[in-house]
Amino acid sequence: MSDKKWMPRWFYQLASPRWCYQICGKLLPWFTALALGLLIGGTIWALVFAPADYQQGNSFRIIYLHVPSAILAQSCYMLMAIAGAIGLIWKMKVADMVAKSCAPIGASLAVLALLTGAIWGKPTWGSWWVWDARLTSMLILFFLYLGVMALNSAIESESTAAQATAVLALVGLVNIPIIKYSVEWWNTLHQPATFKLTEKPAMPVEMWLPLLVMVIGFYAFFAVTLMMRLRNEILRRERRAGWVKELLLSKSAV
Amino acid sequence: MADLLTNAAAEQAQIGPGGLFMATLRRDLLLSLRRKSELVNPLIFFLMVITLFPLGVSPEPGFLAQLAPGALWVAALLATLLSMDALFRTDYDDGSLEQLLLSPQPLFIVVLAKVLAHWMLSGLALTLVAPVIAVMLFLPAEGMPGLMLSLLIGTPTLSLVGAIGAALTVGLKRGGVLISLLVLPLYIPVLIFGTSAVQAAVTGLPLGGYLALLGALLALGLALAPLAIGAALRISVSG
């Protein structure tokens, strides 16, 4: 049997909850600073300095919240499924915890995307909700998150719950493109252009640059919340481990 | 069935994949046919849900005809979903599921046979009953082939995907509502293409494309779903 290590060392180190807790703790301030800087800078840039849209006026500015949250809701599902797969294959506790921490963040981002979409839709399309393909597939993504969370909380044993949700997340991952395309076809079939998403194939630089900043800022913010949740989850699950007790004692002594 | 469960007997019997498939299928069908009251439950449910539409929306024939493709498909989907929980439940309760997992036989084939047995008594039965109920909703006669063909190709996918949910929740005491939460979002593509096929048939458009898409979903489900079901069963039973 060849004992060749084809995975890098840090990959195995991440499998240790203690090591992962510490590395997250070290990274956390950097990412917090990055997220705060980008989000505050991006928001000011987007709301104050970016030019208004020639059709939608200032109401278009909500895309600076809407688009990043929609992108991130999808990336988060991907991360959840991949972490779940790693947990299933390598039996890593930390990967299970990452997957579990992802679900509520992803669900709230999907809600944010839906809400901002509705607020945007009111002045643009004249109604809070339209059965548009994108809105519908985001709603379905939200349902998938809810399913994952419901399954996770229904199973008592933590390792079983993690494995079961990993399987469900992977099944969902296979299904997401199918759902996306089927919903798009359905929409083109049933609603021939009652409205048009204002198509801006060439968005001017002054508009998309703040958007890019906001997207990166959202990713940084996502990393911060994920690490905070992960650290909590690690502490909760490893509460019987010696190093957690030492950590808690040293904190309470201060 | 007993000879499937032990190593020695399986080696003596030299049971092949086809034999295994048929044995599991026969066992599941036999067990289901002995509980006749449960057998008709999905069909009654289907009929009742369909009855709600004229009562709740409008009894006007023209309106109902417009509503029929979607209503029939939604009702069929819910009826399948309702029967899903029972798929592994009895086997789990009496321990035979555990024996199946321990047996040296490939789980893929066993699972496939169980899902097929489930489909024959839910999806296939719904397909056969659907035209009668479609008449009650004033679906035009031109829509019938589309309805039956789309249900014939679409409902096996519903059974396959639903079985993943059933396998994930079999270890829980109350899996019923949870299955719906897990599985309903995954049913949406089948619903879209199934309804579109019926609507195309009603308006006289070619429905080959929709049936091909349903067939593609079924092919994907046949290839991948048993793997997920098997993995989910192992997780549920060991946990």
- Cβ–Cβ of B172/A159 closer than 8 Å? no
What's the rounded Cα separation, in Å, for the pair A61 and A49? Answer: 11
Output the pLDDT for position A40.
Answer: 93
Helices and strands counted in chain A (H then E): 8, 0
- Least confident among A5-9, A27-31, B31-35, B110-114: A5-9
- B188 and A147 within 8 Å at the Cβ level: the answer is no
Q: What is the mean pLDDT of residues A19-46?
A: 92
**Cβ contact (<8 Å) for A168 and B164?**
yes
Arithmetic mean of pLDDT, A192-217 = 68
CA separation for the pair A61, A120 (Å, rounded)? 9
pLDDT confidence of residue A193: 41
Query: Does B1 score more than 60 pLDDT?
Result: no
Of A171, A182, A185, the CB nearest to B228: A171
As to burial, measured by CB atoms within 10 angstroms (0-12 exposed, 13-18 middle, 19+ buried), residue B55 is exposed
Q: Give the residue-averaged pLDDT of A105-123.
A: 90
Task: pLDDT band for A194, please (50, 70, 90 cuts).
Answer: very low
Check pLDDT > 50 for residue A21. Answer: yes
Which residues face A53 on adjacent strands?
A57
Partners of residue B168 in chain A, C-beta under 8 Å: 151, 164, 167-168
Chain B residue with CA closest to A139: the answer is B185
Please report, rounded to a whole number, the percentage of residues in chain B having pLDDT higher than 90. Answer: 63
DSSP string, B138-178: T--TTHHHHHHHHHHHHHHHHHHHHHHHHHHHTTSS--HHH
- The Cα–Cα gap between A70 and A137 comes to 11
Q: What is the pLDDT of residues B192-203, one digit of tens each?
A: 999 999 999 998
Q: Which amino acid is at A133?
A: A
Q: Which residues pair with A227 in a beta bridge?
A: none
pTM: 0.87
> Which residue of B168, B220, B239 is in closest CB contact with A168?
B168
Minimal Cα distance from B229: which residue of A? A167
If you ran DSSP here, which 8-state letter would residue A59 be given? G
Q: What number is the average pLDDT over the span B81-106? A: 89
The reported pLDDT for the residue numbered A191 is: 46
Confidence of residue A136 (pLDDT cuts 50, 70, 90): confident
Instruction: Over range A62-90, report the average pLDDT.
Output: 91
CA distance B113 to B108: 9
Beta carbons of A147 and B181 less than 8 Å apart: yes
The pLDDT of B64-75, averaged and rounded, is 92
Burial class (CB in 10 A: 0-12, 13-18, 19+), A71: middle
Hey, is the C-beta of B227 within 8 angstroms of any chain A C-beta?
A: no
Q: pLDDT, tens digit, for every residue of B125-140?
A: 999 999 999 999 999 9
